[in-house]
Amino acid sequence: MKILVCISHVPDTTSKINFVDDDTKFDVQGVQFVINPNDEFGLTRAMWLKEKQDASIDVINVGNQTSEPTLRKALAIGADRAIRINAEPIDGFFVAKQIAEFIKENPYDLIIAGRESIDYNGAMVPGLIAGFLNIDYVTNCTKLDIENGKATLDREIDGGKETLSGSLPIIIGGQKGLVEESDLRIPNMRGIMQARQKPLDTIEPFDFSPNTSTIKFHKPEPKQAVKLVDSDNLDELINLLHNEAKVL
């Protein structure tokens, strides 16, 4: 089984969010980048499939050279080969087009992406790839088992979950649940050494343009100070919620 895991290179969850160039670009100064958490759950699930069912794992990222350490980390965790499509990931459409074109030339049985990236929160890359290539797609995926070319998957729905069955090839948008946090792997020395020998191929982008652009970023207005209510005066809290905030 050939697995492709799409890796987004995103600022760590505790990063300070600032913008530069007249508020049109994210300020990367001093920011630590990581594998998008939703993608890392998927990568770890892929490792289990590899270890139990003899799969090969390629990882792919659309990005410039700065995402190479993130791809190396994916190799150190256990992926076999990394591919970087050498272009700025301007929007989800552009990224999905690039990856879809790559898959057209290099078919996979299972394609794993995250349900969304935690930076731009586009929530569209796996769905667009599925749409462009007409491959079955399940997102918010919290469970994935594959046996004899058949897939069984859980999808988180509002207020519960749904169990689906399908066949390969399939694309998923993964999240926590595919594996748990305690299952995530911290690369060990051997993994890191091996990763240096593994192929990290750079390919030039296919000829597509983004279909959106960011005009400007804004940060939320500084919040007004909290209004404290004494715990012996909860009527006042209800009064404020009813008459001032108008949410009761």
Partner 1 sequence: MAVLTYIESSNGKIKKSGFELASYACELAKQTNSSAIAITINCPDTSEIANYGIDKVLKVNSDSLNEFNAKLYSDVISQASTNFDCDRIVLSSSSDSKYLAPLLAAKIDASYLNNVISLPSNLNPFTVRRTAFTNKAFSDTSSSSKNIIIGLSNNSFGLVENSVSLSEEDFQVNLENSNLAVESTEKASGTISIADADIVVSAGRGMKGPENWNLIEDLANTLGAATACSKPVSDMGWRPHSEHVGQTGKPVATNLYIAIGISGAIQHLAGINSSKIKVVINNDPEAPFFKAADYGVVGDAFEVVPKLNEKLKEFNLQNS
**81-95: b (≥16 Cβ within 10 Å) or e:** bbbbbebebebbbbb
DSSP 178: S
Q: How many residues bind partner 1 (CB under 8 A)?
A: 78
Residue 157 near partner 1 by CB under 8 A: yes
Given the complex with ligand FAD, which of 12 and 88 has the nearer CB atom?
A: 12
Q: Which residue among 1, 48, 177, 200 contacts partner 1 (CB under 8 A)?
A: 177
Min CB(10)–ligand FAD separation in Å: 11
Question: Is the separation of the CB atoms in 206 and 101 below 8 Å?
Answer: yes
Question: Rounded to the nearest whole angstrom, what is the least distance from the CB of residue 57 to ligand FAD in the complex?
Answer: 23
| Chain-centre distance for alpha carbon 220 | 24
Of 88, 106, 107, 161, the one binding partner 1 by CB under 8 A: 161
CB of 113 to ligand FAD, least distance (A): 18
List CB contacts of 76: < 8 A, sequence separation 6 or more: 187, 191, 192, 194, 195
Q: Is 165 in the site for partner 1 (CB under 8 A)?
A: yes
Question: CA 79 to CA 209: how far, in whole Å?
Answer: 29
The tokens for 88 are 């700025």
User: Under the criterion CB under 8 A, does residue 31 sit at the interface with partner 1?
Assistant: no
Contact between 27 and partner 1 by CB under 8 A: the answer reads: no
* DSSP alpha helix (H) spans, 106-155: 125-133
**13 is a contact residue toward ligand FAD (CB under 6 A):** yes
d(CA 103, CA 42): 18
- Report d(CA 138, CA 132) in Å as an integer: 15
Could you say which of partner 1, ligand FAD, none residue 238 binds, taking C-beta under 5 to 8 angstroms by partner kind? partner 1
Q: What is the dihedral of CA 124, 127, 129, 132, to 10 degrees?
A: -110
Under the binding rule (CB under 6 A), the answer on residue 37 touching ligand FAD is: yes
Residue 243 interacts, among partner 1, ligand FAD, none and using kind-specific CB cut-offs from 5 to 8 Å, with: none
Q: Which does 187 bind (CB under 5 to 8 A by kind): partner 1, ligand FAD, none?
A: none
Spatial distance between the Cα atoms of 100 and 114, rounded to a whole number of angstroms:
15
Q: For partner 1, which residue of 197, 204, 230, 243 counts as binding (CB under 8 A)?
A: 230
Question: How many Cβ atoms are within 10 Å of 227's Cβ, its own excluded?
Answer: 10
Of 120, 146, 145, 116, which Cα lies nearest the Cα of 128? 116
Instruction: Establish if 34 lies at the interface with partner 1 (CB under 8 A).
Output: no
Residue placing its CB nearer to ligand FAD in the complex, 203 or 237 = 237
Give yes or no for residue 114 binding ligand FAD (CB under 6 A). no
123 contact, one of ligand FAD, partner 1, none, CB 5-8 Å limit per kind:
partner 1
> What, of ligand FAD, partner 1, none, does residue 140 touch, CB below 5 to 8 Å by kind?
partner 1
Which amino acid, residue 129?
I
The residues binding ligand FAD (CB under 6 A) are 13, 37
